[in-house]
């Protein structure tokens, strides 16, 4: 019995021993496999846990205006940290500089701590083996330079334990100006505007840096020799003019506020080259602020309304179907096409008028009747659509930046596209088709450019360190969009809109220069019902160019859904165009007509200045500069200039009595304010500019702190 028990115990011992031997053999085999067969693989895996190659961001290229002003640039910022346990820090350096370092850190970086507390903190972090202490995030270049000069830190990354990681923030010195046109890049998928379209040039080439992992999941540079420096991106020189951009955006913003509009677009373009000098897109943010929220100039195609009538008229003129002096029955502003009623924007009682007047007053009936008479059948409708294609109104401009939408033109009598009996007359006045503001402006620009269509563009060259690497030339489309004769007649139509008393832009003409263009008012979000048309809002626009005699700039202004102070193009968009044109011309003296370009002639009394008053030395200085002779009868500080028959001037004294309201009639506002306010009078002004034409308190009245209203004109 004892023998059997002994045998059973031995068997169990042998089984356990065999299992241990087998496990040992398995472990040995696995160890050999891991260390020898797969050794390289697992060593690499282990190294990756503690060492990795990190990309170094390249400095992004600048985006510049035409004259070199900065639109977008990359500003360097730095994350600064400290490795108190860097193996290269000398103990003597640590002991010598620790007190001074703590003092500098608390004085310039973290004033909430005392120098003593900072010293104890650094000692504790070193004792705990910490390899990463954050000193300052997002430090500027100046802050980085100061921190790098601190005791101990000035010895560098290894001997001083200083770790500086550079990064870049994209900055726009002019903030909102051309914000959407400049655009942005977000990751690898979102590319907007110039930043997105030219990202390959701007982004440069990233470098690399070997980093190793320290406590707390932080990574710090391994060594300088393990670094491949990034290569900076290239610079872009755009066609934008920052002064014209500011003028354009400011004028548009004022109109947006005044009319409480939903969105607005204004584009200013060089007629000869297609270079875009300004592109403004404004909308409202959720918190009620104006901002460039979307690039409507290229990304929103809408029914343009009456500004499209120029294309209809140019087609008719090209075919020779009309002459400017022909007459057309505008049927007192109301007509019918099948079951649909078409009306002019304004009620009137006119019947037959000239082609010029029908266009100038923007008669829907007149323009649509001319189009229907010429293109009312299928074959002729094809010819009309063909002309629109010749004007490049059926294709995008090809502007460099992304997001441009296709224009939409129906094919003549296409059932799939919904062509009906009313399509042609409505197309002729800018409905049942869509174009973007830039596409329509490119057409107007071609008319201003004597029929030559140039491609709009935003970037003119690429530079590196100030040297030009690539230039983008002006792109002219082959041939003219119409004959010289038809183009000249179209120009005359645009001029009559401004210069003729029945033109829709006549109220804002100016004697300083001539401009030409067309107003537009389009219904948007409308539904044609049986009894009437339900309108969801209006779109006011003006497209044109200036100066009319020798066009330099073309411009379009489009304001969507104005809610206050008018809805029509002449009241909403045209004032913006005028302000842009006024200030653009004021910034370029060469655009003003030369007054003395010709034989000198004697000025008659009606052509001489009369009743201009002001500070006598100023008046005399102006007369001398203009070379005008005069008789001097003034001996005081203030004078008035009068004409003396038949062709001479005399300077008369303007008396100013103490304690009496002065006579400021004929003075400029500056002189008038000086005189009135110095006598304790309050001043209110009516009228925008010019001389004082009327003052509410009679000159000579005793001064008693009155309010004087001045009318300028």
Amino acid 694: pLDDT? 87
Mean pLDDT of 94-121: 94
Model confidence pLDDT, tens digit, residues 144-154:
999 999 999 99
Beta strands in 117-256 (DSSP E): 133-139, 162-171, 184-186, 190-192, 207-213, 219-221, 227-228, 235-238
pLDDT range class, residue 602, cuts 50, 70, 90: low
Amino acid 625: pLDDT? 85
- Please name the helix (run of DSSP H) or strand (run of DSSP E) that holds residue 541, with its range, or none: strand 538-546
Mean pLDDT of 9-20: 72
Model confidence pLDDT, tens digit, residues 632-646:
888 889 988 887 766
Decide if 54-237 and 659-713 have a common fold. Answer: no
Give the CATH number of domain 659-713; options: 3.30.10.20, 3.20.190.10, 3.50.80.10, 3.40.50.1370.
3.30.10.20
Mean pLDDT of 116-128: 93
DSSP assignment of 274-328: -BEEEEEEEEE-TTS-EE--S-HHHH--B--GGGGHHHHHHHHHHTT---TT-EE
Answer whether residue 349 shows pLDDT above 70: yes
Return the minimum-mean-pLDDT range out of 109-118, 361-370, 407-416, 650-659: 650-659
Long-range contacts of 390-395 (CB under 8 A, 24+ apart): 390/481, 390/482, 391/311, 391/314, 391/443, 391/446, 391/453, 391/481, 391/482, 392/439, 392/442, 392/443, 392/446, 392/453, 392/477, 392/481, 393/311, 393/435, 393/439, 393/440, 393/443
Mean pLDDT of 617-630: 86
pLDDT range class, residue 473, cuts 50, 70, 90: very high
Return the minimum-mean-pLDDT range out of 52-61, 214-223, 449-458, 651-660: 214-223
- Please name the helix (run of DSSP H) or strand (run of DSSP E) that holds residue 145, with its range, or none: helix 141-148
Is residue 63 within 8 A of residue 72, CB to CB? The reply is yes
Residue 658 CB: number of other CB atoms within 10 A?
6
The pTM (predicted TM-score) of the whole model is 0.75
Smallest CA-to-CA distance from 563 within 249, 264, 180 is with: 264
Rounded to 5 degrees, φ, ψ at 240 are: -65, 140
Amino acid 709: pLDDT? 87
Return the minimum-mean-pLDDT range out of 26-40, 201-215, 336-350, 699-713: 26-40
Residue 534's beta-bridge partner residues?
A: 527
What share of the chain has pLDDT > 70, as a percent? 88
Amino acid 650: pLDDT? 86
Smallest CA-to-CA distance from 298 within 497, 130, 441, 492 is with: 441
Answer whether residue 327 shows pLDDT above 70: yes
Cα–Cα distances (Å) from 674 to 157, 311, 669, 677, 680, in that order, read 65, 53, 8, 6, 10
Q: Which residue has the higher pLDDT, 207 or 396?
A: 396
Answer whether residue 628 shows pLDDT above 90: no
Is residue 444 within 8 A of residue 306, CB to CB? The reply is no
**What is the SS3 assignment for 196?**
helix
Amino acid 131: pLDDT? 85
Is residue 514 within 8 A of residue 546, CB to CB? The reply is yes
364: left (phi over 0), alpha (psi -120 to 50) or beta: alpha
Q: In what order do the strands lie in the sheet with 692-695?
A: 682-686, 707-712, 692-695
The one-character DSSP state at 231 is B
pLDDT range class, residue 42, cuts 50, 70, 90: very low
Is residue 253 within 8 A of residue 290, CB to CB? The reply is yes
Distance from C-alpha of 161 to C-alpha of 176, rounded to nearest angstrom: 42
Is residue 119 within 8 A of residue 110, CB to CB? The reply is no
The one-character DSSP state at 147 is H
Model confidence pLDDT, tens digit, residues 393-443:
999 999 999 999 999 999 999 999 999 999 999 999 999 999 999 999 999
Tokens of 430: 């800018």
Distance from C-alpha of 661 to C-alpha of 649, rounded to nearest angstrom: 27
Answer whether residue 43 shows pLDDT above 90: no
What fold is seen in the domain 54-237?
Penicillin-binding protein 2a (Domain 2) (3.90.1310)
Amino acid 5: pLDDT? 59
DSSP assignment of 446-479: HHHTTTEEE--BSEEEEEETTEEEEE----EEEE
Amino acid 47: pLDDT? 47
pLDDT range class, residue 209, cuts 50, 70, 90: confident
Return the minimum-mean-pLDDT range out of 202-216, 412-426, 649-663: 202-216
Give the CATH number of domain 244-591; options: 3.20.20.70, 3.40.710.10, 2.30.30.90, 3.20.20.60.
3.40.710.10
Answer whether residue 141 shows pLDDT above 70: yes
The sign of the CA dihedral 572, 575, 577, 580 is negative
Amino acid 540: pLDDT? 97
Domain boundaries, the chain: 2-37, 54-237, 244-591, 601-655, 659-713
Tokens of 228: 């491949």
Mean pLDDT of the chain: 88
Is residue 496 within 8 A of residue 505, CB to CB? The reply is no
The sign of the CA dihedral 440, 443, 448, 453 is positive
Mean pLDDT of 285-299: 93
Mean pLDDT of 285-294: 91
């Amino acid at each position: 019995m004892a023998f059997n028990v002994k045998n059973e115990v031995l068997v169990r011992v042998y089984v356990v021993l065999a299992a241990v031997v087998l496990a040992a053999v398995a472990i040995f085999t696995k160890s050999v496999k891991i260390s020898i067969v797969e050794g390289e693989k697992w060593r690499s895996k282990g190294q990756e846990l503690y060492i990795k190659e990190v990309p170094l961001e390249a400095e992004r290229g600048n985006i510049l205006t035409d004259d070199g002003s900065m639109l977008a640039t990359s500003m360097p910022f730095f994350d600064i940290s400290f490795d108190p346990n860097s193996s290269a820090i000398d103990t003597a350096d640590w002991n010598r500089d620790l007190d001074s370092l703590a003092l500098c850190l608390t004085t310039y970086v973290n004033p909430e701590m005392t120098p003593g507390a900072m010293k104890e903190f650094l000692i504790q972090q070193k004792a705990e083996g910490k390899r990463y202490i954050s000193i300052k995030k997002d430090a500027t270049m100046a802050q980085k330079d100061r921190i790098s000069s601190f005791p101990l830190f000035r010895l560098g990354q290894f001997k001083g334990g200083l770790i500086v990681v550079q990064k870049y923030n994209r900055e726009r010195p002019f903030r909102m100006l051309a914000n959407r046109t400049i655009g942005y890049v977000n990751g690898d998928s979102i590319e907007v505007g110039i930043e997105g379209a030219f990202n390959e040039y701007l982004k440069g080439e990233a470098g690399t840096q070997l980093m190793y992992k320290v406590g707390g999941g932080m990574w710090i540079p391994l060594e300088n020799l393990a670094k491949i420096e990034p290569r900076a991106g290239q610079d872009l020189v755009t066609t934008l003019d920052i002064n014209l951009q500011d003028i354009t955006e400011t004028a548009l913003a004022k109109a947006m506020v005044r009319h409480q509009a939903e969105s607005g677009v204004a584009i200013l373009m060089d007629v000869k080259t297609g270079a875009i000098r300004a592109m403004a897109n404004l909308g409202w943010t959720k918190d009620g602020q104006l901002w460039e929220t979307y690039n409507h100039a290229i990304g929103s195609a809408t029914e343009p309304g009456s500004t499209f009538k120029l294309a209809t008229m140019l087609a008719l003129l090209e075919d020779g179907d009309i002459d400017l002096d022909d007459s057309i029955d505008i049927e007192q502003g109301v007509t019918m096409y099948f079951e649909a009623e078409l009306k002019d924007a304004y009620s009137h009682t006119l019947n037959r008028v000239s082609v010029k007047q029908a266009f100038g007053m923007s008669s829907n009936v007149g323009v649509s009747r001319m189009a229907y008479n010429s293109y009312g059948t299928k074959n002729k409708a094809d010819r009309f659509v063909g002309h629109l294609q010749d004007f490049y109104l059926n294709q995008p401009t090809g502007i460099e930046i992304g997001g441009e939408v296709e224009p939409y033109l129906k094919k003549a009598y296409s059932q799939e596209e919904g062509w009906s009996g009313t399509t042609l007359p409505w197309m002729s006045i800018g409905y049942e088709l869509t174009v973007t503001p830039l596409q329509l402006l490119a057409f107007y620009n071609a008319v201003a450019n004597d029929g030559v269509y140039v491609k709009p563009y935003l970037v003119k060259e690429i530079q590196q360190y100030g040297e030009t690497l690539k230039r983008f030339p002006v792109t002219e489309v082959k041939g003219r969009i119409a004959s010289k004769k038809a183009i000249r007649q179209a120009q005359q139509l645009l001029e009559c809109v401004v210069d003729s008393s029945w033109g829709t832009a006549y109220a804002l003409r100016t004697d300083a220069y001539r401009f030409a263009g067309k107003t537009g008012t389009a219904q948007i979000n409308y539904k044609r019902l049986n009894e009437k048309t339900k309108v969801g809002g209006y779109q006011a626009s003006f497209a044109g160019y200036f100066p009319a005699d020798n066009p330099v700039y073309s411009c379009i202004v489009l304001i969507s859904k104005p809610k206050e102070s008018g809805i029509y193009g002449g009241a909403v968009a045209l004032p913006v165009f005028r302000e842009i044109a006024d200030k653009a011309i004021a910034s370029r003296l060469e655009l003003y007509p030369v007054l003395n370009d010709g034989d000198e002639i004697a000025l008659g009394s009606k052509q001489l200045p009369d009743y201009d008053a002001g500070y006598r030395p100023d008046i005399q200085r102006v007369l001398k500069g203009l070379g005008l002779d005069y008789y001097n009868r003034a001996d005081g500080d203030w004078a008035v200039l009068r004409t003396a028959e038949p062709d001479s001037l005399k300077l008369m004294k303007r008396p100013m009595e103490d304690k009496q309201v002065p006579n400021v009639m004929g003075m400029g506002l500056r002189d008038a304010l000086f005189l009135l306010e110095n006598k304790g009078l309050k001043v209110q002004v009516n009228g925008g500019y010019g001389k004082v034409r009327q003052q509410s308190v009679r000159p000579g009245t005793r001064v008693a702190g009155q309010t004087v209203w001045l009318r300028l004109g």
